[in-house]
Amino acid sequence: MKEYSVVGKRLPRIDSPAKAMGQAKYAADLVLPRMLHGKVLRSPHPHARILNIDTSQAEGLPGVKAVVTGKDTKGVKFGGWRAFTQLIDQYPLCMDKVRYIGDEVAAVAAVDEDTAEEALDLIRVDYEPLQAILDPEAAMKEGAPRIHEEVERNICWSRFIEFGNVEEGFARSDYVREDNFSLQTQAYAPTEPRACLASFDHAGRLTIWTSTQCPYPVQCQLAAALGLREGDVRVVQPFLGGGFGAKFELFPYEVCCSLLAQKTGRPVKMMYTRQEEFSASRTRHAMKIWLKTGFKKDGTLMARQARAVLDGGAYTSFGPTVTFTAGFFHTLLYRLPNYKYEGYRVFTNKPPSSGMRGIGAVQPFFAGETQMDMVARDLGIDPIELRLKNARQPNEVIPKLTTVNSCGLSECLTKVGESTRWHERQSKLPPGRGIGIACAGQQSGGAFNWFRTRLAFSNARVRANDDGTVVLFAGAADIGQGSSTVLCQILAEELGVRFEDVSIVAADTGTTPVDIGTWGSRVTFQAGNAVRAAAIELKKQLFAVVAPKLNADPVDLDIKDRKIFAKGRPEPSMPFPEAVTAAQAANKGKILEVAGSYHPEGKGIVSPAYSFVAVVAEVEVDRETGQVKVDRLTVAHDCGQPINPMSVEGQVEGSVHMGLGYALTEQVVSEKGEMLNPSFLDYRIPTALDMPEVKIIEVITDEPEGPFGAKEAGEGCVAPVAPAIANAIYDAIGVRVKDLPITPEKVLKALREAQPNS
C-alpha cells in the first residue's frame, strides 16, 4: 500500500462544526429584504384534464402579490435528458392535464406563508377527471388510456441488452431456474425538505439558492424554462440536508419560484412541507423482475435472462438510466458468458420515480442475490463458494458495456466469511436464527453524456496565494456525503501542502467551474480527478520557476509538507509560499490559478470504475409473529483507496440503514394514486433502536483510473442488505419472501404456505 500524508486519514469533515452547532444555513433559513413567500397548488386528481383555472379571487386577497398558472410560463418542457429530447416532458406548471396527485397547477407569492396558503384555497380549478392508470402492467396493455398523448402503450423507455447467446447458454446448463421478484416503492425522505430562494437583479439576471445536488444542470434547465441565457442564471447550493437522488433535477417549484420573483420584482422563497417532500417529489422505482439463470452442476454460471417492468410514475425524470442499470447490474458481479435483458419503464399516474441511492442496483441485486442463494442450496454448494467460483476478477471486460479494472469482490467474500465464521454457522444455527450473504457492486459515476454537455463532467480551479493558503473552486456539490472535505484532502495530498492550508468554494455556478453534479457516486472519483489534475498543473508551473533556484530539473522536483525539493535530496528546499511568490513575480504579479478537468472518455457506456461489497446478515425470526430482528450486519467493502476512512464508514452505515429499511419496513403505500403514509410516523424508516451492530471491513484495492486509487463509497452498500437479510431469513426458518419489504405478515404467510397443516 502506498503511503500518503493526507489521503487515507481519518479527518473530521470541514462542515461538521457548523452543522453540529446549528450554524449551517440551509435554503429554508435564508432571508432577503422584501422577500415574499411562495406556495404551490397541487392536483388532487391522479389524472384529469384541466378545463379552467380562475385565479381572480386569489389575486384579490390582500397580501397576495402574484399568481401564476401554466399560461404565465413559456410553455416549454424541461428535463435532464438533453441527449434524447423526447424524454424532456415536464412543464413548470401543468398546461392541459394533471398526471399525478401532487402535480403543480398554480403558484402564489404573498407577503407571508399564511396568506399564500389562504390564496391557494381561493384558486378555482375545473377538472375533468380521467381514468387513472396505477398499475404499470395494465398501463402497457394495448388500448390503455395514455398518460402522455404521444407515448404509445405508456412505455416511457425500453432498453435491451444482449451478449453471447442465452438460448445456447441455457441449453448447455445442467440446472436452470426462473423466479419472479417484486420490489416496492421507496421514498427518498431526505432530512431536509427542499426549499429555494429566487431573486432577480435589475439587469434581469437570476440568482437562486436552492437545495440541489446539481447546480450546473439546474442552471441550464432553469435558463431554458425561463427563456434566459445560461450565463444569466446563477445557482447557489447552500448547506444541503441529504439528497439520495431526490434533489438531482430541476423541479417545477424552482421554476415557479423564479417566475414569481420575476413577476413581482421581489425575492421569493418556497419551502416544501414534509408531506410534499414525501408525495410530490420522487420515489425509487417499484419493479417487477423475472430472472432466469442457468448453471453447470459444478456451479459455473452459464447464462442469465432478465425482464424488468418499472413503475415510472407520471414523468420521465431519471428513469431511463434506471431502466438501463437495472439490466446492467445483472452482469457485474459474476463472469457471465450469455446475457439478455429487456426493461420497460412505464408511465403511471403516480409521483415520478427516479434514481435513488443504489440507482437501478438495489432491485436487480435483490433478485440476483436471492436467486444465487436458492441456486447454491439446490446445487448443494456453499453460497460463498458458489459466488467465489464465478466472481468477477480485475481487468475483465463485460461485452458491449464496460471494463472492470480493480475488483476486490473475491477478497470481500473471503473476509466477510472469515469474520462471521460463516462455514461453522451457516445452516447450523439454532432454530429461528439464520445467517445470509449477498453481494453488490456500484458505478463510480456515469460515463454516458445524457445531459449532452459540451464541457467536461468535472472541472476545478485552484488558486495558490503567497501566504501559503490554497483555495479550491469546485462545482461539485457536497450534499452531506462529505465531498468538499475529500476534495480538499485530494488537493492537499497532490500539492504537498497541509489539509488546513486548503479551503474550498463549491457548488455556485457564479463562481465555481462546471460540474455535472452529485449523482451516481461520481464526485470523489470524477471531481477528485479534476482537482488532482489542477494540482498537477499548479505544481508544474511552480516547479518551472523553482527548478533553477534549486539547481534541479523541474521533472525531478517534488513537494511534501509545504517544501519543494529535488527527489532523493531534501536540501536545498524552497517553502511553498516562497515558491508561489516567485511564480507570481515571474508573471508580473499575475495570480497563480490553474484549472483541471476530468471527463470519462472512452470508458464504455456505464462507468470508469466499480466498487464491490459483500454483506453477511445475522437474524432472528419470531415464527409466531413473523417479526425479523437483524442482530448484526458485517460489511466487507472495496472502495479502492478510502480517501477519508471515517467518511467512508459513515457512508457505509448510512447505506446499510437505507438497505435495512428497504428490506423490512419502508414502503410508499398508496390508494387510488394517493400516498397514505406521507410522514415520518407512518413511513417507517428504521430508528436508532432498529439498527443492528454494523461491522465494517475495508478491502483496499488500487483503482488505476481513480484519484489515489479511490472508487465510489456512497451507494453500493445499500443493495446487498435486503438479499442478505432475505437469505438469512431462509437460513433461519426455511422460507423465501421474494417481494419487499419483508413484513411480519409476509413471513407468516410464507411459513403457512410451507407447512400448510401447522
Partner 1 sequence: MQYPRRLPRFEYLEPKSLTEACKLLLQNDGKARVVAGGTDLIPKMKRRDVNPRALISLHGIPGLETISHSQVDGLRLGPLTTLGAVESSTIVTERFNVLYQAVQSMASSQVRGLGTVAGNLCNAAPSADTAPALMVLGTRLKLISPQRERTVAAESFFAGPSATVLEPGEILAEIQIPEVPRRSAGVYIKHTLRRAMDLAIVGVAVAITLQDDTCHNVRIALGAVAPTPIRVPGAEAILKGKGRSGDLFRRAAKEAATACQPIDDVRGSADYRREMVEVLTRRALEQAWDRCPGSTEGKR
Q: Which of 3, 601, 624, 753 binds partner 1 (CB under 8 A)?
A: 624
Q: Which of residues 114 and 201 has its CB atom nearest to partner 1 in the complex?
A: 114
In the complex, minimum distance from the CB of residue 630 to partner 1, in angstroms, rounded to a whole number: 11
Segment interacting with partner 1, rule: CB under 8 A, options 354-362, 457-465, 544-552, 741-749? 741-749
Q: Which of residues 115 and 402 has its CB atom nearest to partner 1 in the complex?
A: 115
Residue ranges in 452-471 that form contacts with partner 1 under rule CB under 8 A: none
Segment interacting with partner 1, rule: CB under 8 A, options 65-73, 125-133, 672-680, 710-718? 672-680
Q: Are residues 462 and 535 in contact, defined by beta-carbon separation less than 8 angstroms?
A: yes
Q: Which of 560, 687, 704, 754 binds partner 1 (CB under 8 A)?
A: 687
Q: Which of residues 427 and 625 has its CB atom nearest to partner 1 in the complex?
A: 625
Q: Which of 689, 755, 756, 758 binds partner 1 (CB under 8 A)?
A: 689
Strand 186-187 to 283-284 pairing: antiparallel
* 23 is a contact residue toward partner 1 (CB under 8 A): no
Question: Cell for 464?
Answer: 495558490
* 753 is a contact residue toward partner 1 (CB under 8 A): no
* 63 is a contact residue toward partner 1 (CB under 8 A): no
How many Cβ atoms from other residues are within 10 Å of residue 115's Cβ?
Answer: 19
Q: Torsions phi, psi of 190, nearest 5?
A: -65, 150
Q: Rounded distance, CA 515 to CA 599, Å?
A: 10
* 659 is a contact residue toward partner 1 (CB under 8 A): no
Segment interacting with partner 1, rule: CB under 8 A, options 239-247, 269-277, 381-389, 484-492? 269-277
* 28 is a contact residue toward partner 1 (CB under 8 A): no
In the complex, minimum distance from the CB of residue 749 to partner 1, in angstroms, rounded to a whole number: 9
In the complex, minimum distance from the CB of residue 686 to partner 1, in angstroms, rounded to a whole number: 7
In the complex, minimum distance from the CB of residue 23 to partner 1, in angstroms, rounded to a whole number: 22
* 385 is a contact residue toward partner 1 (CB under 8 A): no
Q: Which of 85, 131, 191, 275 binds partner 1 (CB under 8 A)?
A: 275
Sign of CA dihedral 742, 417, 702, 299: negative
Q: Are residues 524 and 480 in contact, defined by beta-carbon separation less than 8 angstroms?
A: no
Size of the site for partner 1 (CB under 8 A): 33
Q: Cis before residue 351, ω within 30 degrees of 0?
A: no
* 754 is a contact residue toward partner 1 (CB under 8 A): no
Q: Rounded distance, CA 112 to CA 109, Å?
A: 8
Segment interacting with partner 1, rule: CB under 8 A, options 154-162, 351-359, 508-516, 685-693? 685-693
Give Cβ neighbours of residue 434 (< 8 Å, ≥ 6 apart): 618, 619, 621, 728, 729, 730, 731, 732, 733
In the complex, minimum distance from the CB of residue 182 to partner 1, in angstroms, rounded to a whole number: 18
Q: Are residues 368 and 360 in contact, defined by beta-carbon separation less than 8 angstroms?
A: no
Q: Which of residues 252 and 360 has its CB atom nearest to partner 1 in the complex?
A: 252
Segment interacting with partner 1, rule: CB under 8 A, options 157-165, 579-587, 644-652, 743-751? 743-751
* 191 is a contact residue toward partner 1 (CB under 8 A): no
Segment interacting with partner 1, rule: CB under 8 A, options 21-29, 385-393, 651-659, 683-691? 683-691
* 42 is a contact residue toward partner 1 (CB under 8 A): yes
* DSSP three-state, residue 585: helix
Q: Cis before residue 572, ω within 30 degrees of 0?
A: yes
Q: Are residues 623 and 432 in contact, defined by beta-carbon separation less than 8 angstroms?
A: yes
In the complex, minimum distance from the CB of residue 669 to partner 1, in angstroms, rounded to a whole number: 5
Segment interacting with partner 1, rule: CB under 8 A, options 208-216, 588-596, 645-653, 673-681? 673-681
DSSP code string of 384-425? HHHHHHHB--SSEEETTTEEE----HHHHHHHHHHHTTHHHH
434 bridge partner residues = 619
Residue ranges in 278-317 that form contacts with partner 1 under rule CB under 8 A: 279
What torsion, rounded to 10 degrees, do the Cα atoms 486, 488, 492, 495 define? 110
In the complex, minimum distance from the CB of residue 118 to partner 1, in angstroms, rounded to a whole number: 9
Q: Which of residues 598 and 662 has its CB atom nearest to partner 1 in the complex?
A: 662
Q: Rounded distance, CA 513 to CA 531, Å?
A: 11
Q: Which of 72, 104, 192, 276 binds partner 1 (CB under 8 A)?
A: 276
* 631 is a contact residue toward partner 1 (CB under 8 A): no
Q: Rounded distance, CA 315 to CA 251, Å?
A: 12
In the complex, minimum distance from the CB of residue 51 to partner 1, in angstroms, rounded to a whole number: 20
Q: Are residues 475 and 514 in contact, defined by beta-carbon separation less than 8 angstroms?
A: yes
Segment interacting with partner 1, rule: CB under 8 A, options 346-354, 432-440, 678-686, 705-713? 678-686
Task: Find, among 71, 212, 157, the residue nearest to 509 by Cα.
Answer: 212
* 185 is a contact residue toward partner 1 (CB under 8 A): no
Q: Rounded distance, CA 668 to CA 675, Å?
A: 7
Strand 268-271 to 195-200 pairing: antiparallel
* 162 is a contact residue toward partner 1 (CB under 8 A): no
Amino acid at 104: E
* 620 is a contact residue toward partner 1 (CB under 8 A): no
Strand 628-638 to 610-621 pairing: antiparallel
In the complex, minimum distance from the CB of residue 716 to partner 1, in angstroms, rounded to a whole number: 26
Q: Which of 674, 696, 734, 751 binds partner 1 (CB under 8 A)?
A: 674
Segment interacting with partner 1, rule: CB under 8 A, options 25-33, 140-148, 267-275, 718-726? 267-275
Give Cβ neighbours of residue 464 (< 8 Å, ≥ 6 apart): 470, 495, 538, 542, 576, 580, 583, 592, 593
Q: Rounded distance, CA 635 to CA 614, Å?
A: 6
* DSSP three-state, residue 744: helix
Q: Are residues 545 and 535 in contact, defined by beta-carbon separation less than 8 angstroms?
A: no
Q: Which of 231, 669, 704, 754 binds partner 1 (CB under 8 A)?
A: 669
Q: Rounded distance, CA 239 to CA 245, Å?
A: 16
Counts of helices then strands in the chain (DSSP H, E): 19, 33
Segment interacting with partner 1, rule: CB under 8 A, options 14-22, 381-389, 599-607, 669-677? 669-677
* 273 is a contact residue toward partner 1 (CB under 8 A): yes
Q: Which of residues 142 and 624 has its CB atom nearest to partner 1 in the complex?
A: 624
Q: Which long-range contacts (CB under 8 A, 24 or more apart) does 394-401 make?
A: 394/701, 396/335, 398/163, 398/331, 398/332, 398/336, 399/163, 399/164, 400/161, 400/163, 401/161, 401/163, 401/328, 401/331, 401/604, 401/605, 401/606
Q: Which of residues 114 and 693 has its CB atom nearest to partner 1 in the complex?
A: 114
Q: Which of 665, 700, 734, 751 binds partner 1 (CB under 8 A)?
A: 665
* DSSP three-state, residue 139: helix
* 160 is a contact residue toward partner 1 (CB under 8 A): no
* 682 is a contact residue toward partner 1 (CB under 8 A): yes
In the complex, minimum distance from the CB of residue 193 to partner 1, in angstroms, rounded to a whole number: 12
Q: Torsions phi, psi of 353, nearest 5?
A: -95, 155
Segment interacting with partner 1, rule: CB under 8 A, options 288-296, 417-425, 645-653, 676-684? 676-684
Q: Which long-range contacts (CB under 8 A, 24 or more apart) does 274-278 make?
A: 274/193, 274/678, 274/679, 274/680, 275/678, 275/679, 276/40, 276/42, 276/102, 276/193, 277/189, 277/190, 277/193, 277/194, 277/246, 278/187, 278/189, 278/668, 278/675, 278/677, 278/678, 278/679, 278/683
* 566 is a contact residue toward partner 1 (CB under 8 A): no
Q: Which of 29, 113, 466, 593 binds partner 1 (CB under 8 A)?
A: 113
* 104 is a contact residue toward partner 1 (CB under 8 A): no
* 739 is a contact residue toward partner 1 (CB under 8 A): no
Contacting positions for partner 1 (CB under 8 A) = 42, 44, 101, 113-114, 117, 273-276, 279, 624-625, 664-665, 669, 674-677, 680-682, 684, 686-690, 743-745, 748
